[in-house]
Structure 1
Amino acid sequence: MPETRCLTAAYRRYLDCLNERRWDALGDFVDDDVVHNDRPLRLSGYRAMLEGDVRTIPDLRFVADRIVAEGDVVACRLIFRCTPERPFLGFAPTGTSITFAEHAFYTFRDRRIVAVSSMLDTRAVAAQMAP
């Protein structure tokens, strides 16, 4: 149980890093050889992906709705309430805020994220952004 609490705390610090846009500190939480949805990205590619997300959605905040940890895995349901300013998932920005969820599993090794498997609620995005 103490180890899962440590991973949950590390994960919350990772979310703080993202929300504070402390990109230079990302390596404190993410392994150099991180894999995202079965794609090897390396830390530089993972950072570029997140920076691109923030360019598209400047008010993007990673808000944990539910966190569950077991062994070396943290699962989280993230809720996003944001306003895309650039095309997002193939939809032109509308100027209005949208709300959607992401469900993600993070595998840790030595208290750093080595793999992420995530799925966005694209139907919720489409329902709010489609013309």
Structure 2
Amino acid sequence: MSNSEFVQQWVKAYNDKDFDRFASMNTDDVVYTIAALGHAFTGREAFLQHIREYADGVPDRRFILDQVIVDGDLIAVEYRFEGTSSGKVAGLPPAGTVLKTSFCSVLRLRDGRIAVQTDYLGG
């Protein structure tokens, strides 16, 4: 599978709420950072716990893929995140609030899996 196809599968796993498949696309020692929100996790299980928590907070959430740029094992992914807050997660808006933001994820692959993911958050 090409790295562009990998990203398509990554988005599909997220949107399908297939957390096991989504997690399997990461190395055991994946490093995830989103500095704008103060999040940093090391390890697949810690990252998966974060994803599950936010899935509870925004149960109808989805990624909308805009652009993928591939340079070897380095991938930049521009996408939008949309969904409605459940009000269940601290730091997220009250229940019923529609959330829309743009992201750029920089993914570094190792052996066909994400070893490092750094997310940049837009408006």
TM class by shorter-chain length?
0.7 to 0.9
What is the deviation of 1:94?
A: 5.3
* 2:14 aligns with one of 13, 18, 26: 18
Aligned partner letter, 2:30: V
For 2:105 and 2:90, the matched residues in 1 are separated by: 18
Larger radius of gyration: 1
Distance 1:27 1:87, change over 3 A: closer
Matches within 5 A, 1:20-59: 20-37=16-33, 39-59=40-60
Q: Which segments of 5 or more consecutive residues in structure 2 lack a partner in the other structure?
A: 35-39
Distance 1:52 1:78, change over 3 A: same
How many residues align structurally? Answer: 118
Greater share of residues in helix: 1
Is the Cα contact below 8 Å between 1:33 and 1:40 reproduced in 2? no
Distance 1:19 1:99, change over 3 A: same
Distance 1:88 1:28, change over 3 A: closer
Percent of pairs with identical residues = 21
Aligned to 1:129: none
Greater share of residues in strand: 2
For 1:74 and 1:23, the matched residues in 2 are separated by: 21
Aligned to 2:99: 98
Is the Cα contact below 8 Å between 1:37 and 1:118 reproduced in 2? yes
What is the deviation of 1:82?
A: 1.4
For 2:102 and 2:80, the matched residues in 1 are separated by: 5
What is the deviation of 1:96?
A: 3.5
Distance 1:27 1:94, change over 3 A: closer
Distance 1:21 1:69, change over 3 A: same
TM-score, normalization by structure 2: 0.84
| Cα-Cα RMSD | 2.1
